[in-house]
Amino acid sequence: MTPDDFRRLYDYHYALNHILWERGIVPLTAEQFRRRLPYSLGSVRNQVVHMMNMEDRWFAALRGAAVPGILNPVHFGTAAVVRARWDSVERDTHTYLSDLKDDDLRRPITEHMAVWEVLWHVLNHGTDHRAQTLAMLAQLGVATFPQDYALFAAGKLKKYE
């Protein structure tokens, strides 16, 4: 895979995240956003804080920056507060990806993972937790949507579809 391939996959990742926010999270009441659900991390808020936090941590490591600590979702009382931080993390990720070169992909990040593997891991982690969030949204009565990459590649999943 090339840096351009990863940039394309992250375009997909962020397109789906934006749809998740616009269709699924923005319409929630504050109570629904924080409501305890018997699945995964326990609430939509907890899910999206976790997704954002883990992505931020991995990309900080990729940039060689100090890795932020684990965030406590209780410090994120509203979806708007989470979204502001989420957008900042997304901007930082785009900046990192825009500077990514072929030689960077094989550089080791951990004892067991190179840059390309971390990039793949973050994508996979996002897909997993988006699916879990969609299941939680369905429990809250929110209509969900497909995540298929093939639909994105065909231009059928837009940023704010």
pLDDT of the residue at 42: 83
Question: What was the pLDDT predicted at 158?
Answer: 65
d(CA 144, CA 131): 10
CA distance 100 to 94: 10
Tell me how far the alpha carbon of residue 5 is from its chain's centroid: 18
Question: 10-residue block means of pLDDT along the chain (161 residues)?
Answer: 97 95 96 90 93 97 96 94 96 97 96 97 96 95 92 78 43
Amino acid 159: pLDDT = 52
Q: What pLDDT was estimated at residue 56? A: 98
Query: Which pLDDT does position 156 carry in this prediction?
Result: 86
pLDDT of residue 161: 43
The one-letter amino acid code at 1 reads: M
| Alpha carbons 65 and 62: distance in angstroms, whole number | 8
What domains can be seen in the chain, in order of their start residue?
Answer: 3-153 (1.20.120.450)
The predicted structure's pLDDT at residue 104: 97
Which pLDDT value is given to residue 137?
96
The C-alpha angle with vertex 35 and arms to 29 and 36, in degrees rounded to 5, equals 170
Structure tokens at 66: 């100090």
Please tell me the total number of residues recorded for the chain in this structure.
161
Distance between CA atoms of residues 135 and 146, nearest Å: 12
